[in-house]
Structure 1
């Protein structure tokens, strides 16, 4: 009874039903996945790499002691999806994000929404558009 309840809960979290047999065949073990993600971050711009590395390290550390198999499969499968979407080429290749699926947003817990909010603010501060004054081509009035 518990197993079927856990599987139904896991399926409700994803837009695509979670097939445990299929997911376990494509998943990487935690440590190789972690290493491949950090290696893929080498192709990102410096600021984005730093932010991504810190976030990945914190998330994997936070989930180190999880014993729920369904939660582990969900965690690893989502990080595998992230890894597959990272650019594989040189740093010149740009990384393009995509809009968050509204159904996934609705299913997030308060803690997850808080994390998403924090990430949004950190990324906004990292990726501010460069104005002529910041670029050093301004008239010098705003230089410190």
Structure 2
């Protein structure tokens, strides 16, 4: 994100937002990015790899955003995700949660496409090598 956006995000942290998802104030982009990657250290390796790649790609895509509302929304959603992550290696196993139907309805066509791609990518990661469907297709 450009320097002016960093200052914009930093100025937001001095006063609490009135968003239900945020617990207090927002972290600036760089510290939030670092905390997300640190939180992923406690996931199993496959989930960590997928999560790290996704976080890095999303922060790269939003680097040039100039709309303040989009920046605040972006940061608040990532902070809400961070607040759901397990705290430390001894924490509970992270299982995720179902997507809120209201959020699903608000998504654009592009976002729905990205969600579908993410769904397919996670199926590939979690596919077992002993999957019976794979052995049927390779024997013919």
TM bucket (normalised to shorter chain) is 0.7 to 0.9
- List alignment gaps of at least 5 residues for structure 1: 1-17, 134-141
Instruction: Provide the residue aligned with 1:76 in structure 2.
Output: 75
Q: Match of 2:121? A: 122
| Aligned residue pair count | 116
Q: Aligned ranges for residues 91-106 of structure 1 at < 5 Å?
A: 93-106=92-105
After TM superposition, give the deviation of residue 124 of structure 1 in Å.
Answer: 1.2
Q: Hey, what does 2:86 align to over in structure 1?
A: 87
Pairwise CA distance, 1:52: 0.5
Quote the Cα distance in structure 1 between the aligned partners of 2:85 and 2:54.
Answer: 15
Q: Counterparts of 1:66 and 1:36 in 2: how far apart (Å)?
A: 21
CA RMSD of aligned residues (A): 2.6
Q: Compute the TM-score of the two structures, normalised by the length of structure 2.
A: 0.73
- Return closer, same or farther for 1:92/1:83 CA change in 2, 3 Å cut-off: closer
Kindly provide the CA deviation profile for residues 62-114 of structure 1, in whole angstroms up to 9, marking residues without a partner as x.
00011111110000000000001111221784211111111110110011101
